[in-house]
């Protein structure tokens, strides 16, 4: 997992609790740079609830700071499956999703207008 540049992050490998602190730092660093922040996924082997929480927090922090976060390319199957099992996938964003850019809506494949 490595930031490709100030606004692009490529995530790969295990996105699980043992790496939560590392992921949190990478997200914070990305938010301190230019907008939009692009998230790309490489070969992801495992995802757990800790990543889902950090991913949601990334988006909420971006909303607060009036920055954009977007997913580049398809979300990995492991992300969709874990998000669905945990009840994260949505058809509409939460009340904090002012610009209708919820990452969970995007991953679910829903379109919001």
The CATH number of the domain holding residue 66 is: 3.30.750.24
Q: Within a domain: residue 38?
A: yes
Q: Which of 72, 82, 104 is nearest to 91 (CA)?
A: 104
Domain encompassing residue 67:
2-88
When divided into structural domains, the chain yields a total of 1
Predicted TM-score of the model (pTM): 0.85
Strand partners, 72: 40
pLDDT tens for each residue of 46-80: 999 999 999 999 999 999 999 999 999 889 999 99
Q: How far, rounded to the nearest angstrom, does the alpha carbon of residue 16 sit from its chain's CA centroid?
A: 13
pLDDT in tens, 74-112: 899 999 999 999 999 888 888 888 888 888 888 887 544
Q: How far is CA 85 from CA 40, 82, 88, 95, in A?
A: 22, 5, 8, 22
Q: Is residue 110 part of a domain?
A: no
Note the pLDDT of residue 90: 86
Domain for residue 20, yes or no?
yes
């Amino acid at each position: 997992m490595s930031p490709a540049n100030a606004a692009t992050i490529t995530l790969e490998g295990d996105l699980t609790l043992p790496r939560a602190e590392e992921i949190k730092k990478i997200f914070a660093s990305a938010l301190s740079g230019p907008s939009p922040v692009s998230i790309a996924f490489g070969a992801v082997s495992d995802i757990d609830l800790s990543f889902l929480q950090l991913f949601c927090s990334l988006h909420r922090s971006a909303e607060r700071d009036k920055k954009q976060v977007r997913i580049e390319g398809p979300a990995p199957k492991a992300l969709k499956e874990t998000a669905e099992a945990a009840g994260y996938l949505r058809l509409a964003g939460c009340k904090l999703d002012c610009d209708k850019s919820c990452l969970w809506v995007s991953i679910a494949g829903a379109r919001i207008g």
